[in-house]
Structure 1
Amino acid sequence: MDRRLIVMAAGMFAIGTDSFVIAGILPQVAASLGVSIPVAGQMVTLYAISYALLSPTIAALASHWPRKRLLLAGLAVFVAGNMMTALATGIGWVLASRVIAGVGAAMYSPTATATAAALVAPERRARALAVVIAGLSSATALGAPLGTLIAGFGDWRATMWFVSAVGAVSGLAVWATLPAIPALPAATLGQRLAPLKDSRVALTLATTLFAYAGAFSVYTYVGVVFDRATGASPQVLAGLLLAWGLAATFGNLVAGKLTDRLGSRRIIHGALLLMLANFALTPWSSAQLWTAVPAVVIWGLCGWGLLVPQQHRLIGLAPAAAPLLIGLNSAALYVGVSTAGVIGAAGIALLDRHQVGFLAAGLVAAAVLMAALADMAINKAARRHAAAGAGVAA
């Protein structure tokens, strides 16, 4: 396996750990700083909003930077933000530091995935994306539990130092391993943003947003949705989440190979339809442990297996705008994650905690529709291009 991809995946592991570990240390943060858990929970919100808003913006504005320099700058800002979190003495500084960490993540993540695609031949592009994204998905299985364990032995600040250390080591590896990668060809900001006018791009991004809003509306409240299966045992719940994270990592890597072999369309629709059926059955599958385990495994496989073909599709639509489009896809994902908490809470209030899966299934159904409309737009553009080529040849 290309060690350059592994190095960039290590940085994604740090970013993913930072995204997912906060939920496990919120009670400690709240008690330490003398605030309520909902107030401390804004650490997650501000990080996600910073990441979502700035990923496409930085990808467009910093496109003239050499890729290696942008990767290193992103990790430097990310590490600085996490060190600031570890040292902060009040909730105001903690929240400000999460915005800074989000800026660093927004600089690094789209650049890493776009660079991975640029380092390999087109027929290996999806597998390269899968390797780098595996750093993000493996953070759910390894990074977040390890960070929570560190907080248990020490305190939440030790966890933030751990995330900082992983980011710093990744930065050193990027500096020592990656070759100099030139910036994108010169273009105006308007030219860089031109793909946003393309309905194929807009519909693909909408697919990501709806799919992950649905998936994380359940994940945010997984403890109460699956409480019958776990018997409200933290240990059993941790086991379920470990199964979810391992399935996510495996699904992500398999999706890369399958996308290179079969194309993105089949993998996107297959993953979405399985997710739709799985969430629709959650009110029943969450009742017993023997049905909950396969439910979370299918959820992890399909949820994270969707990300690679989505990015592969976007890069194929406009290769020259790859960093911007991947930044926008990351933004769509994080907007979905950010809104999932509100959506899931509404589902619990309007329906029942065990029926949030119905709401998730509805959102994934919207993603299926967006993907189908994207297919139609892509096919229409291909026919138009073929007709134009035939006209020129005549």
Structure 2
Amino acid sequence: MNPRIYLLALAAFVAGIDENLVGGILPLLSRELGVSLSAAGQLTAVFSLTFALCAAPLLSFTARVERRTLLIYALLTFAVGNLGSGLAVDYWMLLVCRIISAASCALVVVLASTLSASLVDARLRGRAIGIVFMGISGSLVLGIPLGIALSEAISWRAPFLLLGALALVIAVLLRATLPTFASRPPLSLLDYCRQLVIPKLLLAQLVSVLLLTGHFVLFAYLAPYVQKTMGIEGVSLSYLYLYFGLAAISGGFCGGWLSDRLGFRRALVLIPALFTVVMAMLPWATTSLFSFLALYAVWMALSWTISPVVQNYLLHSAPEAGEANVGINTSAMHLGVALGAALGGVVIARGSLEITPLVGALMTVFALAAACLSLLLSRPGNSAMTSGDPL
């Protein structure tokens, strides 16, 4: 595997920390900023919604910019947003800085995925994208536990300031080692919209939206959920995120491997099916520490397998519009995160924290249905599909 892919994974790692950090320090943010738990949780929803809305327009407006240069500029803007978050004087300033971070993060993640696929042969695309998503899931291993520890020991501001500094370092490393890439032919927003009127591609995007909506109904509120159901908090919570992060890293790798070995079409159905079953079982896993650790680790691993599979499916289905579809998919994923965080807030406010896994499982049933319909539509004489990936 091209070693430069690991640098792109490092950029994705920092982006993943920023997106997931708030979920780990949610109770602390709520207390320090003087806002409700639900309001603090909406920082995740706003970040992901901004990400979802900005990815396609930013890719369209920057199509003529050389891709390595664009990635470096995106990282520098990302650094500014996080440094501002660390210096925020109130909830609203933090919200604005999170929007700046999210918009730049959209470019970082999309470019990391597409450039990694450009650095390898087509037969290795799934694994290359999987490595990038291992960087994102790896943020759960080191980033979120570190964020929790820094927040508890120093301040909730410390993780944001550290992220800003890390982004600057990574920008320098990429400038020195990553090759240049040709700019893309300009695509209008209408060109992006045209991809969404192709039924099989739209349904594939919905797989990401719906599965991650289901996942984040619980994951955005995992810290208070674990505190209430298992009594785990403080430093112990950071160790728990470390454990879950290790499981998530394995999921990113397995998703890419399954996409290449089992076939991206088979994997597109298998993963939502398994995820639905596992998530429906989560409420009963809290009866003992062993069952909790075992089943929740499987849940975390499965949540990171879907992205490499869907993106590989899209790249093979419409190779001429690869960056556009991956950009849309990155927006789709973050739309799912935003919807999941928002829906979880509604469930908590009007129902109960304990039922969030069941609400999430209901959403992933729809993801499975979307996957099946997409494959059904792709079967009759679709020349864009590779002949080496039989059902």
TM-score by shorter chain over 0.5? yes
CA distance in 1 between partners of 2:38 and 2:272 (Å): 32
- Check the 8 A contact 1:240/1:296 in 2, yes or no: no
> For residue 16 of structure 1, what is the aligned residue in structure 2?
16
Distance 1:345 1:185 in 2: 41
Residue 248 of structure 1: how far off its partner (Å): 0.9
Deviation at 1:383, TM superposition (A): 7.4
Gap change, CA 1:238 and 1:381, over 3 Å in 2: farther
Is the contact made by 2:14 and 2:166 (CA closer than 8 Å) also made in structure 1?
yes
Distance 2:365 2:217 in 1: 14
1:275-325, CA deviations, whole angstroms, 9 ceiling, x for partnerless residues? 111112122222221211121111112110111101111111222322221
Whose radius of gyration is greater, 1 or 2? 1
Amino acid at match of 1:278: V
- Identical residues among aligned pairs (%): 27
The answer as to 2:291 corresponding to 1:291 is yes
Kindly indicate whether the alpha-carbon contact (under 8 Å) linking 1:268 and 1:306 is maintained by their aligned counterparts in 2: yes
Matched length: 386
Deviations 1:211-268 (A, max 9, x none): 0111111213334555576234545544443322111101111221221122112222
| One-letter amino acid matched to 2:284 | W
**Preserved contact between residue 116 and residue 132 of structure 2 (Cα < 8 Å):** yes
> 1:162 & 1:227 partners in 2: Cα distance?
27
1:129-161 superposed Cα distances (whole Å, 9 cap, x missing partner): 011111111111211111221222322222111
The alpha-carbon deviation at position 355 of structure 1 amounts to 3.3
1:192-341 alignment runs, 5 A limit: 192-223=192-223, 225-226=225-226, 230-234=230-234, 237-341=237-341
CA contact (8 A) 1:204 1:374 kept: yes
Alpha-carbon distance in 1 for matches of 2:357, 2:246: 21
Amino acid at match of 2:63: S
Amino acid in the other structure paired with 1:120:
V
Q: Which runs of 5+ in 2 are unaligned?
A: 387-391
Task: Say which is worse superposed, 86-95 or 59-68, in terms of deviation.
Answer: 86-95
> Could you say what secondary structure the match of 2:373 adopts?
helix
Structure 2 partner of 1:131: 131
Q: Which runs of 5+ in 1 are unaligned?
A: 387-394
Query: In structure 1, what is the Cα distance between the partners aligned to 2:358 and 2:152?
Result: 35
Runs of 4 or more off by more than 6 Å in structure 1? 383-386
Instruction: Give the CA deviation at 1:55.
Output: 1.0
Matched, 1:376 2:376: yes
| Cα 1:266/1:188, change in 2 over 3 Å | same
Q: Kindly report the root-mean-square deviation, in angstroms, between the aligned alpha carbons of the 2 structures.
A: 2.5
TM-score, normalisation: structure 2: 0.90
CA distance in 1 between counterparts of 2:208 and 2:120 reads 25
Return closer, same or farther for 1:359/1:370 CA change in 2, 3 Å cut-off: same
Q: CA deviation at 1:121?
A: 0.6
Matched, 1:69 2:69: yes
